[in-house]
């Protein structure tokens, strides 16, 4: 439908798939993803042996698992980049439905692994966190709904998307997982705003979120404990935030040296939620800035390529994926420097994790699929011709 309206001219079908893929995919963003994964393995070699030793595993047990899950993530990412936006949308809807159903089953057959939040299914080879796989499917589905609502005689997609976002947030709050809930609301808000929402609606929703946070603080001991620790005047040096803050101070500009850091022996989540503290201590501010640069490159290049896209669905879904990817990285690093309370959120492609790595590969694969160059000209050419 969009191609019929805007006059997109498809390229002839004679070109082989892989050469066409290589010509149209954003190679710089894909390279940045590979470098981030390589940095994650490097930091995993430093951060995970102490935990493996405490748990009775071989020194590089977690690194080997990160290689396995990271390989699966890169394969998923590559497969997604080969698909058309329509195929990606169909798979996203199916993936969202399965993940949503799985999240509904968490209170009955899920586990918390002693962390105070029921977020995982325990399986033979590890664990699965459904909310990680729900995110990319939710973003693409909401982008489709909002894009459809802007068509002539289209469905009330914005209202449907808001109801869907509330349902997802409710399920996440029951775990509780307020970090993922905030990401879901952020992704929906970004796409709703880009889709033409009035500012006063977003302001009203922000007020509701604030009220919900107050309710969660009063009703959830898990949530209140993290907020109290964040707001306290002094950081307890024996908490994860205290260890991370000290490691970042010790690292300085150039770090204490490879393998010389001590925070990995104190932090139970040094290889996951607080991996940036290990990077700052052993490699210094230099590596942290390099990591930030890689994330910024992926996000900014994706947004600039999406600005040239005519299809409203691709623009909305792609923007939601790019901004959510950026926000997750910002939240993880902000927690380490105590700009935000602890949320239990991984650093994409750098932290250890099975579900987060594979789901991150799917998300980036969807984004790279949406940002592939298409023979359609630029959107400003259409706007000039139409007199808008």
Q: Which pLDDT belongs to residue 265?
A: 81
How confident is residue 279, by pLDDT bands cut at 50, 70 and 90?
Answer: very high
For residues 80 and 355, what is the distance between their CA atoms, to the nearest angstrom? 17
Answer with the residue of higher pLDDT: 82 or 7: 82
227 Cβ contact partners less than 8 Å away, ≥ 6 residues apart: 217, 341
The dihedrals phi and psi of 312, each to the nearest 5 degrees, come to -60, -40
Residue 354 per-residue DSSP state: S
Q: For residues 322 and 306, is the Cβ–Cβ distance under 8 A?
A: yes
User: Which pLDDT score is estimated for 319?
Assistant: 97
Q: What is the pLDDT of residue 381?
A: 53
Helix (H) or strand (E) holding 105: helix 85-109
- What percent of the chain has a predicted confidence (pLDDT) above 90? 47
326-371 pLDDT, tens digit per residue, is: 999 999 999 888 888 777 788 999 998 889 999 999 999 999 999 9
As to burial, measured by CB atoms within 10 angstroms (0-12 exposed, 13-18 middle, 19+ buried), residue 160 is: middle
Q: Does the pLDDT value for residue 1 go beyond 50?
A: no
| Token duo for residue 320 | 């939601």
What pLDDT score does 38 carry? Answer: 95
Interacting residues of 341 by C-beta distance below 8 A, sequence separation 6+: 226, 227, 229, 230, 335
- Cα–Cα distance measured from residue 267 to residue 243, given in angstroms and rounded to the nearest whole number: 7
* Of 246 and 97, the one with more pLDDT: 97
pLDDT of 268 higher than 80: no
55 confidence band (pLDDT: 50, 70, 90): confident
Please, is 221 exposed, middle or buried when counting C-beta atoms within 10 Å of its C-beta (0-12, 13-18, 19+)?
Answer: exposed
When pLDDT is cut at 50, 70 and 90, the band that residue 222 belongs to is low
Q: What is the mean pLDDT of residues 40-59?
A: 87
Evaluate if residue 84 carries a pLDDT over 50. yes
Interior angle at CA 365, CA 361 and CA 367, nearest 5:
120
Quick one: which of 22, 20, 65, 16 has its CA closest to 40? Answer: 65
Question: Mind giving me the DSSP string for 11-34?
Answer: PPTTS-HHHHHHHHS-HHHHHHHH
Say what the pLDDT of residue 312 is: 93
44 compared with 267, residue with greater pLDDT: 44
């Amino acid at each position: 439908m969009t191609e019929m309206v805007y006059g997109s001219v498809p390229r002839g079908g004679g070109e082989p798939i892989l050469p066409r893929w290589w010509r149209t995919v954003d190679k710089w963003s894909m390279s940045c993803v590979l470098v981030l994964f390589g940095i994650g393995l490097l930091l995993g070699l430093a951060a995970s042996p102490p935990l493996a030793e405490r748990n009775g595993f071989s020194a590089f047990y977690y690194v080997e698992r990160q290689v396995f899950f990271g390989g699966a993530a890169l394969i998923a990412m590559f497969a997604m980049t080969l698909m058309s936006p329509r195929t990606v949308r169909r798979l996203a809807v199916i993936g969202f439905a399965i993940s949503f159903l799985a999240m509904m089953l968490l209170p009955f057959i899920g586990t918390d692994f002693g962390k105070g939040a029921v977020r995982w299914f325990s399986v033979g080879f590890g664990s699965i966190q459904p909310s990680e796989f729900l995110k990319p499917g939710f973003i693409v589905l909401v982008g489709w709904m909002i894009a459809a609502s802007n068509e002539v005689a289209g469905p009330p997609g914005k209202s449907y998307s808001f109801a869907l976002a509330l349902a997802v947030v409710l399920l996440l709050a029951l775990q509780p997982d307020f970090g993922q809930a905030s990401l879901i609301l952020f992704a929906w808000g970004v796409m709703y705003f880009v889709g033409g929402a009035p500012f006063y609606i977003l302001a009203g929703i922000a007020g509701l979120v604030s009220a919900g946070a107050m309710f969660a603080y009063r009703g959830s001991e898990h949530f209140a404990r993290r907020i109290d620790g964040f707001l306290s005047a002094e950081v307890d040096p024996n908490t994860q935030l205290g260890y991370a803050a000290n490691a970042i101070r010790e690292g300085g500009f150039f770090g204490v040296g490879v393998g010389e850091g001590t925070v990995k022996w104190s932090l139970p989540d040094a290889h996951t939620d607080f991996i940036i503290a290990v990077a700052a201590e052993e490699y210094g501010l230099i590596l942290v800035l390099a990591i930030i640069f890689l994330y910024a490159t992926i996000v900014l290049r994706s947004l600039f390529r999406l600005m040239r896209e005519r299809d409203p669905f691709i623009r909305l879904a792609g923007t939601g994926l790019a901004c959510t990817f950026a926000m997750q990285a910002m939240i993880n690093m902000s927690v380490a420097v105590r700009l935000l309370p602890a949320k239990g959120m991984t650093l994409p492609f750098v932290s250890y994790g099975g579900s987060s790595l594979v789901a991150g590969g799917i998300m980036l694969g969807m984004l790279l699929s949406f940002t592939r160059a298409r023979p359609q000209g630029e959107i400003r050419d259409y706007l000039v011709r139409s007199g808008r």
